[in-house]
Amino acid sequence: MAKQTKKQQIVAKLDRETLYSVDDAIKVLREHKSKFDETVEVAMNLGVDPRHADQMVRGMVSLPSGTGKDVKVAVFAKGDNADKALAAGADKVGAEDLMEDMQAGNLDYDRVIATPDMMGVVGRLGKILGPKGLMPNPKLGTVTPNVEQAVKDAKGGQIEFRVEKNGIIHSGIGKLSFKDDALKENFKAMTDAIVKAKPTGSKGKYVRKVTLTSTMGPGLKVDLAEIEGA
């Protein structure tokens, strides 16, 4: 019989049907942490079918304790707006030159922001940015005249969430090195935002299941009583 990995040994001891409080789930994840700083992730199974436009769940949320990762931001802007974006910490700012750079395959960004007057240029990147979820969108605040604030938000812990075709939203909410309170604050901010984003076409139970896990850890079911409005 093959020797079990550390993760397999831990999972074998866990009852997959146990419902955990957020505090207890974090404690279990810490018990088996690896040598590297793992990402803590939340997965929410929702009662929606995103193939229907009125059941799409998508939005932005600012995690009060940040994400624990360096967010790379590209901005399409000119003149004063370009200067403001750079001052706010954007990693790359440009116009047609940035478009050409992305067409050449340089797409190592977590967020792409644009001023409204640059959408004629950005629109030519739809087939490149769209599949990666990077296309600027006014509803998400990534098409805005206030690029300075948009860059600060992105760098400061604002993340996008979007339901997948199977009705699940996955998102990182921090690192295992974060203090318990920081992870709990981020968990609450994320789940509150998703509950508030309930679409009009959702029928019946909206939040079906919530799971907390870490990069190398087991998936732990969270008691839905912990989720306000679930």
**pLDDT per residue as tens, the chain (230 positions):** 445 555 555 555 666 678 999 999 999 999 888 888 999 999 999 999 999 999 999 999 999 999 888 899 999 999 999 999 999 999 999 999 999 999 999 999 999 999 999 999 999 999 999 999 899 999 889 999 999 999 999 999 899 899 998 999 999 999 999 999 999 999 999 999 999 999 988 888 999 999 999 998 899 999 999 887 76
Q: Helix crossing, 147-155 with 79-88: angle to 10°?
A: 20
In the structure encoding, which two tokens stand for residue 170, read together? 């996955």
The answer to whether 158 and 63 are in contact (CB under 8 A) is yes
Cα dist. 15→116, 139, 144, 166 in Å? 52, 41, 48, 25
CB count, 10 Å around CB of 158? 19
C-alpha to C-alpha distance for 4 and 216, rounded to whole angstroms: 14
The answer to whether 74 and 90 are in contact (CB under 8 A) is yes
C-alpha to C-alpha distance for 57 and 41, rounded to whole angstroms: 18
Element (H, E) at 200: none
CB count, 10 Å around CB of 35? 6
Q: What is the pLDDT of residue 228?
A: 77
Q: What is the pLDDT of residue 205?
A: 92
Q: What is the pLDDT of residue 5?
A: 58
The answer to whether 95 and 74 are in contact (CB under 8 A) is no
The answer to whether 163 and 54 are in contact (CB under 8 A) is no
Strand order in the sheet with 220-221: 168-175, 39-46, 207-214, 220-221
C-alpha to C-alpha distance for 6 and 10, rounded to whole angstroms: 6
C-alpha to C-alpha distance for 35 and 42, rounded to whole angstroms: 21
Residue environment code for 44-66, b if the CB has 16+ CB neighbours within 10 A, otherwise e: bbbebbbeeeebebbebbebebb
C-alpha to C-alpha distance for 7 and 218, rounded to whole angstroms: 7
SS3 assignment, position 73: strand
Q: What is the pLDDT of residue 68?
A: 87
In the structure encoding, which two tokens stand for residue 28, read together? 């279990």
